[in-house]
Structure 1
Amino acid sequence: MRLPHGMDLASLGARLRVPLHGYVLSLLALVASLLLVWLYWSSAQQRELKAAQAEFTAETDTVAELLRQRLASYELVARGGVSLFASVNLPSAGQWQGYVDALNIDARYPDMLGLGYAPYLDRAELQALQLEMRDAGQGFYVVRPGGVRSRYGPVVYLEPRTPANRAMIGEDMFADPQRHAAMASARDDNAVRMTGPVRLDAGTGGEVSGVVMYAPVYRFGIPATQSARRAALQGWIYAPLDVRAFTEAALRTTNQQVSLTIRDSAEAGGAVLYSDRASPGGDDKANGPEVFQRALPLELYGRSWELDFSADMQAALAERTPELRMTLVAGVIASLLLFGVALALARTESLAERKAALLAESYQRSELRFRNAMRFSAIGQALLDRGGVIVDANPALAAIFDTTTDELAGSVIGAHFIDAQDEARRSREFAAVAEGVFRTTRQWRSRAGELRHAQLTYAPVPGEIGQDVASLVQVEDITERVLAHAREQALNRTLEARVALRTRELTHANQELESFAYSVSHDLRAPLRTIEGFSRLLSERYADRIDDTGRDYLARVRNAAGRMDDLIGALLKMSRVSRSPLTLEPLDLGQIARDVVAELQASQPQRQVEVEIDPDLRAVGDAALVRNLLQNLLGNAWKFTSETTDARIVVGKDDDVRGGQLAFHVTDNGAGFQPEYAGKLFRPFQRLHNQEQFDGNGIGLASVKRIIERHGGTVSAEGRPGQGATFRFTLPREMPAAD
């Protein structure tokens, strides 16, 4: 073999050793990298295993809390039923159905098979319940199982009314030992209690494993002692729960890799309530090293549950190892992501250019639409620059100024009005336009010399800085509107003058009428007193010269004169009700009514009248007028119950509140009146009873109506002959606001 020129065997060996050294280094690097990867993988696996175990522990705590919270929500539902029995002594079947329907159990609590009520009965109470249900048309109520017992707890209500729930009606749960223990514990401890595992009819043709939750219902509050609670127990609100559906509903939001078994520790051998060993590592691997395990005790409503959790360790790690594998290909993924980002940027740039072209085209179309809308608008419009010079105008504006659009272009908008703008005013207006829409009014003269009015609306036009268009002005001819407004103001001034004149005339007429009333009352009382005086003298001094008929005539004359004097006094009193100034203040109507009743009892101590006055009767009114009001109403009630054996008067408040007014009533069981004559009661001198039977002048209720109307209220009367009468009236609720 011939060697290359200038190369000996030593140099050839050196060149041959270089590749071998690189391969060895590569191999060492590969081994070292594999070793490092293995070390990293082992460390990461242990780290992930600890994290998985911590996650398993947190998840088991979450499941336990979810189960506790879900049972707490069922407790709230049961206690809601207890609250219903607290508000209604014994709800009807319809009320119970309405309450359960409002809970929407099917949607919110699908694992709750129903919500029912079972009373706590002895033999006599059970028989009474059966008779009551039979009389109510519900058929014969049969209690199962039969037999005589000291106490019963039969199902009366159970909603929703599925076939399975209807079959439970009449079932005596107190006879079942499992249910009896929970019901007795709930009764004695005044707490919600739960049974151990029982078989429940799911309504699907089979039975399911479940528990029943009981909440006691007591009569007259919650007794303090256990014996008192047993005596006061009314029954139980109970809720049957499908344990499997309940547990699966609580587990829907958790990791399904966790397996759960629920045992009731209170039962012999720890009865299984729920078991799910579908995940890898079932019961045969319960003690293996490849399974996470944890047991949690749970004390719930008198029961001790044990929650046994397990999870496949390898399955938990399998969920986390993709992260480790992703580390090996991170570089490739990063390159692909970078390429994807570059591709996305190029695509974004292309899309941006297309969007810009579309926006430019849209802008041109928008500007064209704006120009067309301006050109064909019926309102005058013009585009202005920053100095108020018209850049463009529409035909409507040219028609307003009786010119052409070409002549308007280049002119100042303010120069077309007779109240031309000065420089300072124009600067202020354009400064206002820059901040938003600005409106003003101007005047101009048409070519015929007619003075016209216009409303100008300035609005800024958005665009680039330095463009020739700065604002848009709309010019609307409002001459007819201004003239109509002027005519309206002139008419209003005329009407105000007429109203003022009529007010003065009415005031003068009222003053004359008041003077006339006083003069008439004074002039009438003088001859009446003369008649009464001379009649009395004639009766006293010449009684022996006059026969019985004459003395009877004299007595009638004196009685008529006295009655007329009373009528004149009543008229004066009623006029003072209308003329006296109104001073509003908070009043205690109950105290005023008690004072008036005391005066009536003092005037007739021989009468026995039962008077009932509500404790809280407060309103706003004039103290003197309100006292007059109650004197008339209570006086009428006192008078018209004089022939009633068990006379009774009630002063109370109605629930009706209208327009800031409170409603009150005065009721009696006296003579009453015909309902069709109720409207006549509040007219002066209108009487519905004979003077010989019940005295009076017919002014009291008329005064009542005037007093109520002065307070801005209403008054009405209801009655039946021989059944009494009720007078209802309203008074202000609060003091009026100060001006």
Structure 2
Amino acid sequence: MPRGGYLLALMVLVGSLVFVLVAWHYARERELRAAEASFVARTTEMVERLNQRLVYYELVARGGTALFASMARPTPQQWADYVDSLNLRARFPAAEGLGFVGYVSNNSLDDLQIEWRESGYGQLNVRPHGMRARYAPVLYLEPRTPDNVAAIGLDLLSDPASAEALQAGLDTGEARLSGPVQAYASDLMLFVPVFRDGDRPRTPAARELSMQGWVYLPFDLDRYVDVSLGTAYADVGLRIFDTDGGDRLLFASKGGQAEPAFHHQVTMARYGRHWRLEFDSPPEAVAAPHVRGLESMLALGMVAALLLYGVAWTLARTEDRAVVIATRMTEDYRRSEQRFRSSMQHSAIGKALLDSEGRMVEVNPALCRIVGRREESLQGQAFESLFEDDESSLRPNGDGTTDANGIHRVTRHLRREGDLPREAQLTYAPVPGNIGQDITGLVEVEDVTERVRAQARVHALNRTLEARVAMRTRELSQANQELEAFAYSVSHDLRAPLRSIDGFSRVLIERYENQLDEGGRDYLRRVRKAATRMGELIDAILQISRLGRAELRRESVDLSRMAVEVIDELRAGDPGRELAVRIMPGMAAVGDATLLRNLLGNLLGNAWKFTRGREHAMIEFGANEQPGGDVEFYVRDNGAGFPQAYVNKLFRPFQRLHSLHEFSGHGIGLASVKRIIERHGGLIRAEGREGEGAVFYFTLPETVEPATDSRQGA
């Protein structure tokens, strides 16, 4: 059960957390209310700006009514001059223009059209066509943009939105704002009625008789909002709904993308129209930036509460922990002593506790078995009395080793009662004894006699093996020298009879050709061809033997440049071949330049030979980077290829997979390539399909950075 101290600590934690949370909540609500009040004030400013802009529009329109008051009806040119003087587009970018809508009865429409045509204004085409009691055609609209010109003659009483605003202006004699007009390019229109004689009659009937038309200002709602508010309120989301038009959405801007912190709604009534404006504030981090600081205050308060709880909890547990630690230390000491006694008694390695004078205070049964004495006879005896060699070997300056922790290891000759001396591995470690005990060290004794003897036998066997390896190496070297001498002797001894065969057969053909029939001449040609073939095989034997004797001279070799030179030589020897060659630039390796030239000559020469007769023949020499950073080079062609089942025969001397009638050769090119690769410590492999080409992959372990001046063959 928890004690009073733990309950007090828990009460401190709960009380401090409640206090911190209440203080944080109060401060947060206060900051949010202040931020919301600031946001509402901003929305009031926005509404005021929108109202003020509409007032400007009304003033511009009423200026047009003053023009009608000064004359019966201005001409289109006078109206255009007046609108140009206002500089409407520069001062009011959202306004599409300033115009005049006439109020015409059905009986007066023809007179208006005749007057319009005779005055030189052109044809007045009132749209939409049809018989109506009243018409409100657009007569003037400046400036003359394409949309404004197209609006001339449009009967605004035919559209419900504009007809409602026109009728309201006629009934009240005041300026009226329309809803969105479907038949017109602009969004909204502001209408100001124009009466004859400039004064507004008092009664609706009198206004009906005195009505001349309306000066109107069409404007784009989106631009109107942007111009009115500017960029100062770009972070505030705004939606405008026309409540008189079925709660229709007129304008919407998102403001920020994040969730707004506050919402506010205002109803705006102007010129007989009611708009509902809905505002969205920026997110809480922007609208109420001080709230984030309160989160830091909350975290700090909670940390302080936890610290208070930790202090109270620590004080409450101090007494209990002291008791638990004391009990645990007692139990640990008992178990440690028990483990030590068990390890001493049951260990297979001999152990002895030594005092400061080197006498054995306690020994285990394993040590008694190793030295062949009883435990009673060992206790109190000097540990040095068990060995035949001098005690200096136990010191750090003796023949043993000592590490940084003071552990000393040494091998000594152990004296055994009634037996020959044995080898013992000693490990001396300093250990503290209990209070009142004079124990300074622990010595472990391990009988390693059999191990030492086995090591001696291994050393002797190694020496024997080394002598055998040296003897076999000499024998192999002598055999290689004899084989090289034999190959050289055979090749030179065979040349003399070959030259005789070749010479006498040539003499027979030259002198006695007419005396022989066709069969005899054919035999002589075969003899000469066989002799030539034998000479070439002898040269091949000498070439293979030289590859094994030549000394490697390692240097950086530009393989790309070397391959280009080999291809150039092949083209010079066979100028009629049409063949595409692709050589990757920048390939380089470390090796013997002569041998690597031989390697590329054989691989590229084979590709050149086995693509003969192939349409669109191709040879490619490149490299691929392998996992681990190694580079594998390859030579690929689309020639005759070979069956993959016979790939192992490719690299054997004098082994051929194609007849001499198909492709000439001696069968030692790829054998030479393999020997060169292996002398450089690399590997070679081949892949092919009969009639589809072959690719040879090889590695040269010591590669270098790619060369920068290699060129590409084509």
TM class by shorter chain equals 0.5 to 0.7
Give the stretch that moved more between structures: 462-471 or 513-522. 462-471
Quote how far apart the aligned CAs of 1:489 are: 1.7
Higher-Rg structure is 2
Question: TM-score, normalized by length of structure 1?
Answer: 0.54
Cα distance in 2 between the residues matched to 1:554 and 1:429: 87
Quote how far apart the aligned CAs of 1:671 are: 1.8
Aligned to 2:349, which of 374, 379, 391? 379
Quick one: structure 1 residues 635 and 447, their matched pair in 2 at CA, closer, same or farther if it must change by over 3 Å? same
Q: What does residue 475 of structure 1 align with? A: 445
Quote how far apart the aligned CAs of 1:611 are: 0.7
- Aligned residue runs from structure 1 range 165-564, under 5 A: 243-244=258-259, 260=262, 271-273=278-280, 307=287, 348=318, 352=322, 355-356=325-326, 358-422=328-392, 425=395, 432=402, 435-462=405-432, 467-564=437-534
Quick one: structure 1 residues 454 and 515, their matched pair in 2 at CA, closer, same or farther if it must change by over 3 Å? same
Cα distance in 2 between the residues matched to 1:472 and 1:574: 69
Q: What does residue 654 of structure 1 align with? A: 624
Count how many residue pairs are aligned between Structure 1 and Structure 2.
453
Quick one: structure 1 residues 450 and 570, their matched pair in 2 at CA, closer, same or farther if it must change by over 3 Å? same
The SS at the match of 1:440 is strand
- Aligned residue runs from structure 1 range 79-158, under 5 A: none
Q: What does residue 637 of structure 1 align with? A: 607
Quote how far apart the aligned CAs of 1:371 are: 2.2
Q: What does residue 589 of structure 2 align with? A: 619
Quote how far apart the aligned CAs of 1:379 are: 1.5
The SS at the match of 1:649 is strand
Quick one: structure 1 residues 423 and 378, their matched pair in 2 at CA, closer, same or farther if it must change by over 3 Å? closer
Q: Does 1:684 align with 2:653?
A: yes
- Over residues 524-569 of structure 1, what are the superposed CA-to-partner deviations in whole Å (9 max), with x where a residue is unaligned? 1111112112222332233344343333222221111111000110
AA of the residue aligned to 1:646: H
Quote how far apart the aligned CAs of 1:733 are: 4.0
Aligned to 2:632, which of 663, 688, 711? 663
Q: What does residue 4 of structure 2 align with? A: none
Q: Does 1:723 align with 2:685?
A: no
Cα distance in 1 between the residues matched to 2:675 and 2:393: 67
Tell which has more relative contact order, 1 or 2 (C-alpha 8 A, sep 6+): 2
Cα distance in 2 between the residues matched to 1:212 and 1:528: 101
8 Å Cα contact 2:557/2:590 also seen in 1: yes
Aligned to 1:603, which of 564, 573, 590? 573
8 Å Cα contact 2:236/2:254 also seen in 1: yes
- Over residues 112-157 of structure 1, what are the superposed CA-to-partner deviations in whole Å (9 max), with x where a residue is unaligned? xxxxxxxxxxxxxxxxxxxxxxxxxxxxxxxxxxxxxxxxxxxxxx
Quote how far apart the aligned CAs of 1:465 are: 8.6
Cα distance in 2 between the residues matched to 1:309 and 1:373: 69
The SS at the match of 1:732 is coil
Give the stretch that moved more between structures: 641-650 or 562-571. 641-650
Quick one: structure 1 residues 538 and 615, their matched pair in 2 at CA, closer, same or farther if it must change by over 3 Å? same
AA of the residue aligned to 1:529: R
AA of the residue aligned to 1:550: G
Cα distance in 2 between the residues matched to 1:374 and 1:630: 73
Q: What does residue 139 of structure 2 align with? A: none
Q: What does residue 681 of structure 2 align with? A: 712
Cα distance in 1 between the residues matched to 2:314 and 2:678: 82
Quote how far apart the aligned CAs of 1:367 are: 2.0
Cα distance in 1 between the residues matched to 2:258 and 2:499: 100
8 Å Cα contact 1:610/1:649 also seen in 2: yes
Q: What does residue 586 of structure 1 align with? A: 556
Moved over 6 A (4+): 193-198, 210-213, 308-311, 343-347, 426-431
AA of the residue aligned to 2:638: N
Quick one: structure 1 residues 371 and 699, their matched pair in 2 at CA, closer, same or farther if it must change by over 3 Å? same
AA of the residue aligned to 1:668: D
Quote how far apart the aligned CAs of 1:475 are: 0.5
Cα distance in 1 between the residues matched to 2:236 and 2:526: 93
Cα distance in 1 between the residues matched to 2:366 and 2:253: 85
Cα distance in 2 between the residues matched to 1:510 and 1:195: 95
8 Å Cα contact 1:609/1:648 also seen in 2: yes
Cα distance in 2 between the residues matched to 1:433 and 1:385: 21
Cα distance in 1 between the residues matched to 2:380 and 2:558: 79
Quick one: structure 1 residues 469 and 719, their matched pair in 2 at CA, closer, same or farther if it must change by over 3 Å? same
Quote how far apart the aligned CAs of 1:431 are: 11
Aligned to 2:664, which of 695, 698, 713? 695
* Runs (5+) with no aligned partner, structure 1: 1-47, 65-180, 182-192, 199-209, 214-240, 248-258, 277-293, 297-306, 323-335
Quote how far apart the aligned CAs of 1:732 are: 1.4
Aligned to 1:565, which of 510, 513, 535? 535
Cα distance in 2 between the residues matched to 1:470 and 1:433: 18
- Over residues 425-454 of structure 1, what are the superposed CA-to-partner deviations in whole Å (9 max), with x where a residue is unaligned? 488799958933221111123223312111
Quick one: structure 1 residues 381 and 423, their matched pair in 2 at CA, closer, same or farther if it must change by over 3 Å? closer
Quick one: structure 1 residues 375 and 638, their matched pair in 2 at CA, closer, same or farther if it must change by over 3 Å? same
8 Å Cα contact 1:260/1:309 also seen in 2: no
Cα distance in 1 between the residues matched to 2:623 and 2:403: 61
Question: TM-score, normalized by length of structure 2?
Answer: 0.56
Q: What does residue 643 of structure 2 align with? A: 674
Cα distance in 2 between the residues matched to 1:721 and 1:344: 86
**RMSD, matched Cα:** 4.5
8 Å Cα contact 2:402/2:408 also seen in 1: yes
Cα distance in 2 between the residues matched to 1:262 and 1:584: 85
8 Å Cα contact 1:662/1:733 also seen in 2: no
Cα distance in 2 between the residues matched to 1:509 and 1:197: 101
8 Å Cα contact 2:237/2:281 also seen in 1: no
* Runs (5+) with no aligned partner, structure 2: 1-22, 40-221, 223-233, 240-251, 266-274, 302-307, 705-714
The SS at the match of 2:564 is helix
Quote how far apart the aligned CAs of 1:295 are: 11
Cα distance in 1 between the residues matched to 2:684 and 2:626: 13
